[in-house]
Amino acid sequence: MNTNDLNTALYEKMATEQDKFRDWLKSQPPEEVLNHAYEYTIREDIVMAMEELVLTDAQAQALLESLSPLEDVYRYFEKLETGYMDVIRDSIESRANEVCREPEELNPLFVYLHSAAYAAEHGETDAYWLSDQANFSCKAAIEQAINGHYGANRLNTEAAVKEVMEKFGAERVQFILANTISHKHRDGRISSANRTWAANIPMPQDEETFRRNVYLVVDKVNPGLLDLFTNQVRKAVQKPEKHSILQKLKQEPPAHKPAAPKKRELER
């Protein structure tokens, strides 16, 4: 047999050996299965590695001559200092360090506007997923608030908006509404003013993220009620801005006006 045939034969022999081990393990009581869980996993990895590994003719032939080549390799693996527990310890410490990072880095009120690919490339996966989870929770909260504050053909928009804004903040609520309106751009029940407003809310620019965010669309309420809710959100966001400007004007001293010229100066 050539090298390829030898390696193929060895792989098939190991795979058959693992199949028999699996069948035996499935017949054992749960306690025994747990006792062999680690062994089963490592043996699976050995067989998987043999799919791509190319041994020399001598190496392949030597293992083929064993009655249980998979068992032999596993027992040899057990004796090695693999550093497996070091990897486990490093993983625990690394994850703990991530959780302990500054709160603002993983603030669920922060709306992450980049794609999953960008987040992975820049080491911001945690921020991406935290924001994504908060987005979905906000979407569900908007639906619940609208349904909960609607009765007798009337929506208590102030109460509904306050309920959601206090929990998720203005930025996220606006993001969810803008995302919803952008996906419902042909729905005539959404006013043109709200469509224009939504177009100016910062959103992910890549097409893949836009398509994925269809699952964040507020779709369990009447679009007309959603439009009323959006109107109230816009009012709520604008009010603090107007109030702050008014306060600033009140706090600033009046501009000093130059004194009017005296009569004698005018006569000159």
Mean of the per-residue pLDDT values of the chain: 85
Could you read off the pLDDT of 215-250 as tens digits, one per residue? 999 999 999 999 999 999 999 998 654 444 445 545
Could you read off the pLDDT of 174-221 as tens digits, one per residue? 999 999 999 998 899 999 999 999 999 999 988 889 899 999 999 999
Closest to 56 measured CA to CA, from 8, 3, 13: 3
Give the pLDDT band (50/70/90) at residue 265: very low
Q: pTM for the whole thing?
A: 0.53
In sequence order, the β-bridge partners of residue 155 are 150
Burial of 185 (0-12, 13-18, 19+ CB in 10 A): exposed
Predicted pLDDT of residue 102: 46
C-alpha dihedral sign at 140, 183, 239, 222: negative
